Amino acid sequence: MTVDPAFLDIAADLARREPTPFYVYDTARLRSTCRSLRGLPTRARVYFATMANAHPRFLEVIREEGLGVFVNTMGHLGRALEVGFEPGRIVYTASGMSEALMREVRATGAEVNLDSIGQVALWRTLFPGQPFGIRCNIGDRIEARETRAGFFVGPQSRLGLSGPELESVFGSPDIHGLHLYAGTDILDLRYFEAAYRALLELVPHFPALDYLDLGGGFGVPGPGQDPFDFHGYGALVAQIMDDAAALAGRPLDLVLEPGRIVGAEAGLFVCRVTDVKPRGERQLVGVDASSAQFPRPLLYPDSALHPHALLPTHGRDPGPPVPSQVYGCSTYSRDFLVWDGALPPAQPGDLVVLGQAGAYCASLRTEFLGFPPAPEHYR
Ligand SMILES: Cc1ncc(COP(=O)(O)O)c(C=O)c1O
Q: Is 298 in the pocket of ligand 1 (CB under 6 A)?
A: no
Q: What is the pLDDT of residue 183?
A: 85
Q: Is 184 in the pocket of ligand 1 (CB under 6 A)?
A: yes
CATH code that applies to domain 5-23+264-378: 2.40.37.10
Beta strands in 152-238 (DSSP E): 175-179, 211-213
Alpha carbon distance 163, 166 (integer Å): 5
- For residue 174, report the distance from its CA to the centre of ligand 1, in Å: 25
- For residue 46, report the distance from its CA to the centre of ligand 1, in Å: 12
- For residue 293, report the distance from its CA to the centre of ligand 1, in Å: 21
pTM of the full predicted structure? Answer: 0.95
Q: Is 218 in the pocket of ligand 1 (CB under 6 A)?
A: yes
Q: What is the pLDDT of residue 218?
A: 95
- Ligand 1 atom closest to Cα of residue 149: 14
The full length of the chain comes to 379
Architecture of domain 27-263: Alpha-Beta Barrel (3.20)
User: Would you write out the chain's pLDDT as a tens digit for each of its 379 residues?
Assistant: 688 888 999 999 999 999 999 999 999 999 999 999 998 877 799 999 999 999 999 999 999 999 999 999 999 999 999 999 999 999 999 999 999 999 999 999 999 999 999 999 999 999 999 999 999 998 777 776 777 667 777 777 788 999 999 999 999 999 999 999 988 888 999 999 999 999 999 999 999 999 999 999 999 998 888 999 999 999 999 999 999 999 999 999 999 999 999 999 999 999 999 999 999 999 999 999 999 999 999 999 998 999 999 999 877 888 999 999 999 999 999 999 999 999 999 999 999 999 999 999 999 999 999 999 999 999 9
Q: Is 21 in the pocket of ligand 1 (CB under 6 A)?
A: no
Residues of the chain with CATH 3.20.20.10: 27-263
- For residue 185, report the distance from its CA to the centre of ligand 1, in Å: 9
- For residue 276, report the distance from its CA to the centre of ligand 1, in Å: 38
Residues of the chain with CATH 2.40.37.10: 5-23+264-378
Residue 178 near residue 202 (C-beta atoms within 8 A):
yes
Q: Is 76 in the pocket of ligand 1 (CB under 6 A)?
A: no
- Ligand 1 atom closest to Cα of residue 152: 16
Parallel, antiparallel or unpaired: strands 211-213 and 175-179: parallel
Residue 343, C-beta contacts closer than 8 angstroms, at least 6 positions apart: 283, 285, 308, 309, 310, 321, 322, 324, 326, 352
CA 201 distance to own-chain centroid: 27
What are the phi and psi torsion angles at 160 (to 5°)?
Answer: 85, 175
- For residue 26, report the distance from its CA to the centre of ligand 1, in Å: 22
Q: Is 36 in the pocket of ligand 1 (CB under 6 A)?
A: no
- For residue 139, report the distance from its CA to the centre of ligand 1, in Å: 17
Q: Is 257 in the pocket of ligand 1 (CB under 6 A)?
A: yes
Cα angle 268, 51, 302; round to 5: 60
Residue to probe by mutation, ligand 1, list 47, 67, 257, 363, most atoms within 8 Å of CB = 257
**What are residue 213's DSSP bridge partners?**
179, 255
